[in-house]
Amino acid sequence: MSEDGRAPGRIDTDLFITVSGPPGCGVTTLCEALSERLDCGYVSGGEVFREIADDRGMSLSQLTAEASSDAELDRELDRRLQGIAEKWGDADKAFILESRLAGYLAAGHADLRIWLDAPEEVRVDRTSDREEFSAEMRVREVIEEKRYAAYYGVDLSNRSFYDLAINTARWGPDGTLAVAASAIENYDPDADEGAFDTPELNL
């Protein structure tokens, strides 16, 4: 333990952080590692989706199939995530929210928005044990992009409002964590001249 009683490597912060990115880019790995370093909780979109499946007495595969033709399921997921963002954004405690739309859903509540990505061939290789082939993964991403554009007018290819974007193929898990942790640890609210505006989504 250090002199202040915190475990080595711990970061003292009250930032509400969002992490987003496509499948295979390492969002879960980073969120788990950051959660430990910040000694805080985190919620993922996948976790909330599983909660919705449990609430409806459905399997994940059944809910996924239904979601492809039922826009209300997507909106229910997004409303739950937005509610979490509102709760923790006002809590003055560190927290991490992860989903493809987390940065948008958190809107003005987010203190730091992180986008992770990696070349498609790298992400396909990383997800090979999930039985998700390149064409299938790309089709899913295109469908999601079209859904969000149709629902909310969101262009997922526009990443200009993210505070930090990392190509996880260049650094790997430990390096990605080091980059993100350094940004968090060195954040000075007094020197902050302003984040990019993020419009509220009409859910």
Q: What local confidence, expressed as pLDDT, does residue 2 receive?
A: 37
In a domain, 199, yes or no: no
Domain range enclosing 43 = 16-188
CATH number of the domain residue 52 falls in: 3.40.50.300
In a domain, 148, yes or no: yes
Q: What local confidence, expressed as pLDDT, does residue 144 receive?
A: 78
CA-based radius of gyration for the chain: 17
Which of 114, 119, 137, 122 shows the shortest CA–CA distance to 42?
114
- pLDDT of 8 strictly over 60: no
The 10s digit of each residue's pLDDT in 88-135 is 988 989 999 999 999 999 988 999 999 999 998 899 888 876 655 555
How far apart, in Å, are the Cα atoms of 12 and each of 35, 37, 64, 93, 193? 12, 9, 38, 10, 22
Element of type H or E holding 44: strand 41-44
Neighbours of 79 (CB within 10 A): 15
* Percentage of the chain modeled with pLDDT above 90: 54
- 112 SS3 class: strand
Q: How many folded domains does the chain comprise?
A: 1
pTM: 0.88
In a domain, 4, yes or no: no
In a domain, 85, yes or no: yes
The 10s digit of each residue's pLDDT in 151-166 is 888 888 888 899 999 9
In a domain, 1, yes or no: no
- 197 SS3 class: coil
Grade residue 16 by pLDDT with cuts at 50, 70 and 90: very high
- One-letter amino acid of 45: G
User: 């003005």: which residue's tokens?
Assistant: 108
The 10s digit of each residue's pLDDT in 33-84 is 999 999 999 999 989 988 998 999 988 778 877 877 788 888 899 999 999 9
Compare 197 and 191 and report the one with higher pLDDT. Answer: 191
